[in-house]
Amino acid sequence: MTGFTVLDDPAPPMKMPAVALDPAHARRPHRAPETPDTPETSASAAPTWTPDDGASPGHAEFRFASPRTGLVAHGVRARLDVPSWDGPAVAGAAHELLARAAGARWAGEPAPILVGAIPFDPSRPAHLVVPAHQSWHPVVSSGAPADTSEEGPLPVARPEHALPGRDDAVFRAAVGRAVSRLEDGAAEKVVLARTLDVSAAEPLDRGAVRAAVRRANPDAYVFDVELPGDQGHLVGASPELLVSVRDGVLHSHPLAGSAPRSADPDEDRATAQRLLASEKDLREHAFVTDAIREVLRAYVDREEDLDVPATPELVATSHLWHLGTPITARLTPGTSVLDVVYALHPTPAVCGHPQDAARELIGSLEPFDRGFYTGLVGWADQAGNGEWAIVLRCGVVRGAEVRLFAGAGVVVGSTPEGEHAETAVKFSTLLSALGGVS
């Protein structure tokens, strides 16, 4: 397209070929086995809960579409004001808040749920609310809930300028320093991110962006969350499910290790097979699955209730091949999705390993606040069910301005050029939805 200059040189959009791979080795991002029904709970508290005075139809918009089910919510009945770092306190307060909301609902109203976003940095407050209004819809082929009109052309406000949030040389230097620190034993893996600021001639049509990104990524978790204050809207299409829980059964699908796809079918197939055999990427992926296995052991009664495959599979998205491992578990009765969410977050897929050492490296090498990027977005109900995706392939939209985020896992053997190229490809998910790149 014309009038759109990208200084970071993200990979251009491409039409991906159909690639024949062994089904045992190539899968789409994990989806829950059944479309979740509207969560139901029983009122267990006296009707003493008082709705938030800020409840209004246009306030705190929240949209979250899994591959099969779309959730649309707005308005605020109550907010959860608990420090994000205290996971058990958040889970307990959420359960109490939902119980109070269930006791206060009118006859015929759906059971209340908690929706929102959790930041990467646990010292920052989460954005979690009980919405005043909610509705569930099957996702149609466009990736939009069936009762919303999100089909349509690409955004009218096409990007005119895209400026790097970080200078290329700065990011490459950060990767180089990180590799040196890893070689010295500071950590085994660290995830570094960078930003890209995009401006358009007029406010962006977020509905068109959601529809466009879902058409290209039908198995993604598409979200649009109105952030508090004047922070804008968090919009994206994550390929990675951190955790879903339905009737005590947990599903997780961590992704770590990736390679760019090719428009040439033979090269695309060869790239996928090289990724599956890459010692560096397999090692990076193992950090993630090992960490998740160790956490989940505390939430099952027996070892056989936890299934973590020994080797990863190939997962295809519009622009990248990923290594992914579908994990399932039968949780100990009484375990809620938020219990597990806060125990797992952040995984080595978005932070590094060991976690404390990786956090220290991120703090010294990333000169910006991630905010909700690499945090979580999703919902939970009073019965302990819920679904939470990692906030990836995303941006924060403020009218005609968008800040995009992308990151890459750095291990011994990583190169500045390789990690920069990986982030450029990841930017393309939203850049393509914003109108394409010339």
| Catalytic residue annotation | 189, 240
Could you tell me the maximum CA-CA distance found in the chain, to the nearest angstrom? 64
Alpha-carbon gap, residue 429 to 438, rounded angstroms: 14
Encoded tokens for 297: 């052991």
Q: Is 344 helix (H, G, I), strand (E, B) or coil?
A: helix
Q: Is 302 helix (H, G, I), strand (E, B) or coil?
A: coil
DSSP 21: -
Alpha-carbon gap, residue 252 to 39, rounded angstroms: 20
Alpha-carbon gap, residue 423 to 406, rounded angstroms: 5
Alpha-carbon gap, residue 64 to 223, rounded angstroms: 4
Where does 334-434 have alpha helices with state H? 337-344, 355-365, 416-433
Considering Cα of 426, then 430, then 431, then 432, what sign does the dihedral take? positive
Encoded tokens for 327: 């994990």
